[in-house]
Structure 1
């Protein structure tokens, strides 16, 4: 009789889920794409699944070995409320659909690590069932990734208490990674979150987007927009565009520096009537090129003489990475996040700022014609991608904090 040898099962490649709720703009998706690319470089053949609610995800270039589950989308109103972007009119069925899809997908994928972007319980608490299931499985590490600024401290604490985020973080998460530099803004200290985080938080630095310049798509998209025109240009973008009409209109009417052209990217989420209004204005200005969407704008930004933009986290990181002369017109409502971040960067001379209440075409024209901002303070720490890569390697080498606590109890 032949002897049967039993071999231990081959160790599988690490599996990672990157979740973002994606209700306004492309920033959450772009952040997770950047993280996915960084993790592909630092781990042996990881399998990475993005879960998000941005149907435009299919237009973005995914790193090899990375795929994406796109959920039916929410839309976020100017008051912060949610509604279905397109699928029906009733929010509750959409929330249930998304929650069930996320749970089924994550359980089937069985990740070693799940990084949740910004919202501990997910949009409208759609992660509750998934977090409970992963807690029961005992081997999936859970990390909460937070941008550098959420809102004014009192608002953050009220929101986190109301949404039971403190309890959720204590119960489910192994680590909290803050994508920012505490010398610019210390989220945990300023918002009084140190106790809730229990020492598990870590500022990793801002995420450097200049690595995206190596993408062939970046050069291809820039060439498609510029069409070989060598004239210097000012680049203006408003993220997804849902709340960017005021800046787009001001830019469309602003006087450009002599010999310059303008590149205006409205975003795909701007309501059609507003987009048509901007188109009507730019139709009378041949020196302005109107573009609804650019898959990979980083090379266009790098080549710009100046940049005018809103102040979302992702756009700000792009500006800091490229060090181009930039003016930010931050969103002021319903959150103060963009104003807080931009004011601190402007105080260091890293960007110029116009408050949205003071925005006019002439104010934009004056800035474009005037001297660029000059740094007067230290540049922020841009080493976030490398630190996240190292932290992922470390967290995957150890059992989850929750599993250690369970064995000790």
Structure 2
């Protein structure tokens, strides 16, 4: 992760989820309970020392496994820091999410500890207040930021960097780009893309993500040997530079990647993850209903299906900004002013 002046990072010991959605220590060979205690102490010490005006907690109000509870209590007792819960547009199907939140008593945590809930989305796509049946007092804390226009990131890219297409040894042609998020469960889509037929005068680039198993990545790299129009890379520092250059994009349905693609108004085929959560499928289907993307269910995924989609002739792309709110970058500062009682 790159940073700039005034910004730094404190990394919590990390967790990973297995195929059934259960958490385990990602790197440290310690019991889960010890890792959770270490996460709580690390977060608590950092917040006590830094004493922020605002803390934004991502996705889970009490932490992945309630390890934030002592931190939340401490912050409330000190009374200095305003707390915001940040949520993606879609978390999971309503019945599943409502059950999880009820068992974790998450709405009680929002009532007790949080000053605001920011949804990084637009209710025209998905309305968590309605879909997840937030109680009226919790719903009253919700503000929709809109989506963040990722084109702005190009203004802050590293100066003098080599053109990403030229760096791959390509001097021309159209670009078909395949993105599989972190890559930990992207093997099926990646392999189908590498086996798909590319249209004439088209190069195919797969970004595997840093978490794809090494054995799968090695197999994909071997598969493109001797194919000058195909490349496999594991990671790029600024993926928006590739997204901007792409002519067609095949991707999984994660929040960040999907809205990067829509920021640049690119023709996109989403092949969403459907297990253990249906978040990606719901997001993809809602955006498809708005006429912004095409969707292929993973059960229908094949090299032939991707070949057919890639071979389609050019078609006008409906700009996402005509249908959904992409003003998040200007709205978040306004929400901070509201939270802190600052008048512009």
- TM (norm. structure 1) is 0.79
Cα distance in structure 2, aligned partners of 1:376 and 1:116? 31
Contact 2:15 2:26 in 1 (8 A): yes
**Match of residue 230, structure 1, among 172, 179, 185:** 172
Q: Which residue of 1 aligns with 2:124?
A: 183
Deviation at 1:91, TM superposition (A): 1.9
| Structure 1 gap ranges (5+) | 1-59, 399-409
Deviation at 1:216, TM superposition (A): 2.9
Cα distance in structure 1, aligned partners of 2:261 and 2:283? 13
**Match of residue 280, structure 1, among 215, 219, 222:** 222
Cα distance in structure 2, aligned partners of 1:326 and 1:221? 26
Residue correspondence of structure 1 range 137-152 to structure 2 within 5 A: 137-152=78-93
Q: What secondary structure sits across from 2:8 in the alignment?
A: strand
Q: Which residue of 1 aligns with 2:182?
A: 240
Q: Which residue of 1 aligns with 2:323?
A: 379
Q: What secondary structure sits across from 2:161 in the alignment?
A: helix
Deviations 1:209-242 (A, max 9, x none): 1101113338726536434522221111111111
**Match of residue 173, structure 1, among 93, 98, 114:** 114
Q: Which residue of 1 aligns with 2:281?
A: 339
**Match of residue 248, structure 2, among 306, 318, 329:** 306
- Confirm or deny that 1:268 pairs with 2:175: no
RMSD: 1.9
Residue correspondence of structure 1 range 383-394 to structure 2 within 5 A: 383-394=327-338
Q: What secondary structure sits across from 2:91 in the alignment?
A: coil
Deviation at 1:114, TM superposition (A): 0.3
Show structure 1 runs of 4+ deviating over 4 A: none
Aligned length: 339
Deviation at 1:254, TM superposition (A): 0.7
Deviation at 1:113, TM superposition (A): 0.4
Cα distance in structure 2, aligned partners of 1:160 and 1:143? 17
**Match of residue 117, structure 1, among 52, 58, 72:** 58
Cα distance in structure 1, aligned partners of 2:160 and 2:256? 20
Cα distance in structure 1, aligned partners of 2:189 and 2:269? 11
Residue correspondence of structure 1 range 59-78 to structure 2 within 5 A: 60-78=1-19
Cα distance change of structure 1 residues 233 and 94 upon mapping to structure 2, 3 Å threshold: same
| Structure 2 gap ranges (5+) | none
- Confirm or deny that 1:92 pairs with 2:33: yes
Q: Which residue of 2 aligns with 1:357?
A: 299
Contact 2:174 2:202 in 1 (8 A): yes
Residue correspondence of structure 1 range 13-162 to structure 2 within 5 A: 60-88=1-29, 90-162=31-103
Contact 1:311 1:328 in 2 (8 A): yes
Deviations 1:230-288 (A, max 9, x none): 22211111111111111111111111111111111101111112222222222253321
Cα distance in structure 1, aligned partners of 2:308 and 2:140? 47
